[in-house]
Structure 1
């Protein structure tokens, strides 16, 4: 029986060998497929975690932008308010009104007279109380001013001996008209520009910090880590410095907002003042106009400042208001406290230079002008179609749509220009407020702003590698890991903003923005 079994095995050994081979191959193939499926699941999980992590980083970055704008906006507001002291003009108008009262009635009757409003000074018969919050003066002040006006009726002497030229009532009202409108419009432009500049700065730094973290995770640890001593390295081979992820570079880069807060806003103010004079110069404060007419005049001012056509707006240059020229960079660093006054050597490092150059390129792009126009549309609409229409024209806030407001009002509801000037004066402080700023809230509701920030955050990754800063630098393991990681699983996807990168880093900022717009249009259709 044993012999027969041996003979049977000998006869079927080929079949057994083939069967064993098939089973082994099937087992190996199954293990290979299972391994690949496990790798795919792990890669998908890593991608999902990486994208979620990037999304959280991006959203936190936008919140930081909002808090930063609110923190530094009062600096620009103070400079603009000092440059356009509308309150001094109002005080002078009050003084003249008090002098007229003192000449027409006795001091005993002044004490029982209701305190006048500055809006009434535009027309003695007007009973408006438009400037209640700023323009009332106490009756005792009227008496004091009346008694002290006898020596200054024809122009008083200043403490330094110079004689002050007294302006007429018409001159003062014209000055207040131009100044109040100019101040409000300048603050709107400053707020919009500061919002965009802050988004650019913090998203560029956020992108660089993100890349630095990716590289640090992807780079393999050195084999002799336990036996080496880590020393601080400020050379170009330091990955943190190569990617700009060092505190000093970031601090100096952010300090360049000093230019807009102290110089750019004042230069912009002069441009806005010229446009306001041309448009509103012939308007009489006693004149009654509709809210639609006021909107048309505001639009004319914007056309003179931003450009009358789409092509003019697209080619409008805002860089000189946002960043200093190259020969003024050291001055800005000194004035902002980044360098000492004794420093004579250049302090602009290669990493800081790349940040400034990329910021300049973004500001000069047509996309920047387009997004800025959207932000200004929202800001001016909030001022004219909501605040002034409600406070000066007593129109209930039915809708934020200008067309809806005009449809409700028609041409029958009119208000004196002086009433609108009162609202312009008060709203200037609201526009430049560093807390509960409803104008900033309106600006941040513009979807183009979030898309713009996402494109800045996610585009031009190839320019952030250390090799971009120096063509002669040898390829490192970290740099190779960076390229592999970015190409495979770390692509930032901003679904809320309608931006997906992928090939955007290869086509540049403008191409990324066009892809974002195309995707957004596809969603809307």
Structure 2
């Protein structure tokens, strides 16, 4: 009973004590209310700011990691695309080499000329053998005649048989001398006119060899450039579809942050590309390798014939003369408007039909020849809409890239004025420059070695040129001696291992940026 009042008194005492102790604190709070509120606001703001900064930093790190992953993925895809292009073109080059060898059979003409020379040499040697045999027979007949005379003097006057024998020996000796004189006369006058080619045919063969050598090498340079650019374009389009598909699989956030073109393709449901459609599309390099290359050959041959058809084979050519001849041929192929006569259209004017077929029948023919369509039973309806879309997109790229007008740049090099930013025509022009620069460099190393680099390495002071060094700098080579090196470059362009021409194409800065 008495415990409850004690507890109440204790509780009241505790409350009173707390009030007494908190009274100063309360008064302090009332006196510094504004300062405390400001302090609390600052502390709360600092805490909220720190939380915000920490969250933003975590988000930034996450986004940076994702962006780095995307860039790494794009870089990996790009490098893989470059590697795929390199190996794809290398796999297609043997087919192109076979086509060029069959169309421009330089080796066949060389074999005919070599056989003609061997035939002439063998005919000459056989003629000399006949002369030696005739002289030997003539000497033998003279000795027999002399011996017969001596025997006739020693014989009796009445021995008629011996006289008849001597007369027969004299007659046979005279016939042998006459025959020997005929063989010797005909052999000496015309020692090579037994089976060899006549002079006109030989000149025609040399003229054809000259034109074919330049045509095959220049056409190979143009075709490897066109094939590389077409393969780059095809693999880039396919790679973009694959990238869009990977973006679609990565989630809504990646789709929201993707480019507008990617979002548009995702909205149109075009992200996925079937494996058979990709295979069919990549098989269209067959058109350039078996159909379109004829146009390139015709244009190059006409240009080569215009430039060197009247150039004699014995003409002494310097390295500058060789560069001038090749640049003249290039101008007639790439920019014929700057030349008089011959072709009036550039190689770019028909480049789309050279790279890809326009008609559905030709598209079906490519699919049949590539083995992806069913023979004669296939019709144009067998061409899938996805393949149509890919081909149309490729044609649009080529048409947009080639749009513009061709203009001449100072220094004799063709340049292209294209509407918009530098694109396919500009890239193609730079690739042509790289390829032909490599060709001229290889020809210079083969026939016109420059002694200046060695001299600069050997001495840093003034060096007086010796007659041999001066002759090397002003060296001139007959055109006929350049033909083997020019023909040999075809094998380096199409069958070289490693292929320095193809690597130069793939490492061209504008070609890399165009990917």
* TM-score greater than 0.5 by the shorter chain: yes
1:204 aligns with 2:237: yes
What secondary structure is seen at the aligned counterpart in 1 of 2:107? Answer: helix
Partner of 2:481: 419
Q: How does 1:157-168 map to 2 (within 5 A)?
A: 168=201
Q: CA deviation at 1:12?
A: 6.7
Q: Does 2:446 align with 1:391? A: yes
DSSP-derived class of the 2:310 partner: coil
Question: 2:125 corresponds to which residue?
Answer: 105
Could you list the runs of 5+ residues in structure 2 that have no partner in the other structure?
1-16, 131-192, 254-264, 339-344, 402-417, 455-468
Task: Tell me what 2:18 maps to.
Answer: 2
2:47 maps to what in 1? 27
Aligned partner of 2:428 in structure 1 is 372
d(CA) in 2 for partners of 1:262 and 1:183? 16
TM-score normalised by structure 2 residue count: 0.66
2-side partners of 1:293 and 1:338: how far apart? 49
- 1:220-245 CA distance string (max 9 Å, x none): 9xxxxxxxxxxxxxxxx999972243
1:217 matched to 2:250: yes
State the superposition RMSD in angstroms.
3.4
Alignment TM-score, normalising by the size of structure 1: 0.65
1:305-329, Cα deviation, whole Å (9 max, x unpaired): 111579x879644212111113311
- Residue 336 of structure 1 corresponds to which residue in structure 2? 370
Instruction: Could you tell me which runs of 5 or more consecutive residues in structure 1 were left unpaired when the two chains were aligned.
Output: 111-148, 156-165, 221-236, 400-406, 454-525
SS of match in other structure, 1:106: helix
Match of 1:105, SS? helix
Alpha-carbon distance in 2 for matches of 1:301, 1:322: 22
1:21, distance to aligned residue in structure 2 (A) = 6.4
Deviations 1:131-177 (A, max 9, x none): xxxxxxxxxxxxxxxxxx96x6689xxxxxxxxxx961100000101
Query: Which residue in 1 is equivalent to 2:281?
Result: 253
Specify whether residues 408 and 60 from structure 1 end up closer, same or farther in structure 2 by C-alpha distance, changes over 3 A only: farther
Q: Decide whether the 8 Å contact of 2:93 with 2:495 is kept in 1.
A: yes
From the CA coordinates, give the structure whose radius of gyration is larger: 2
- Give the direction of change, closer, same or farther, for the CA distance of 1:238–1:297 in structure 2 (3 Å limit): closer
**Structure 2 partner of 1:59:** 79
Q: Alpha-carbon deviations, 1:271-329, whole Å to 9, x = none?
A: 1111111111001112211121111111111011111579x879644212111113311
How does 1:497-516 map onto structure 2 within 5 Å? none
Instruction: Give the equivalent residue in structure 2 for 1:50.
Output: 70
CA gap of 1:211–1:4, structure 2 versus 1, over 3 A, is same
1:390 and 1:397 in contact (8 A); partners too: no
Q: CA deviation at 1:372?
A: 1.3
The aligned residue for residue 361 of structure 1 is 396
In 2 relative to 1, CA 427–314 (structure 1 residues): closer, same or farther, beyond 3 Å?
closer
- Are residues 1:449 and 2:504 paired? no
Question: Is residue 225–residue 428 contact of structure 2 (8 Å, CA) maintained in 1?
Answer: yes
Work out the number of aligned pairs and report it: 381
1:429 aligns with 491
2:140 aligned with 1:84, yes or no?
no
SS at match of 1:245: coil
Q: After superposing the two structures, state which structure 1 stretch, 343-352 or 100-109, moved more.
A: 100-109
Correspondence for 1:188: 221
Equivalent in the alignment of 1:40: 60
Change (3 A) 1:258 1:426: same
Structure 1 distance, partners of 2:447, 2:96, is: 27
Counterpart selection for 2:203 from 161, 170, 193: 170
Report how far residue 219 of structure 1 moved: 4.3
Query: Which of 383, 394, 407 matches 1:348?
Result: 383
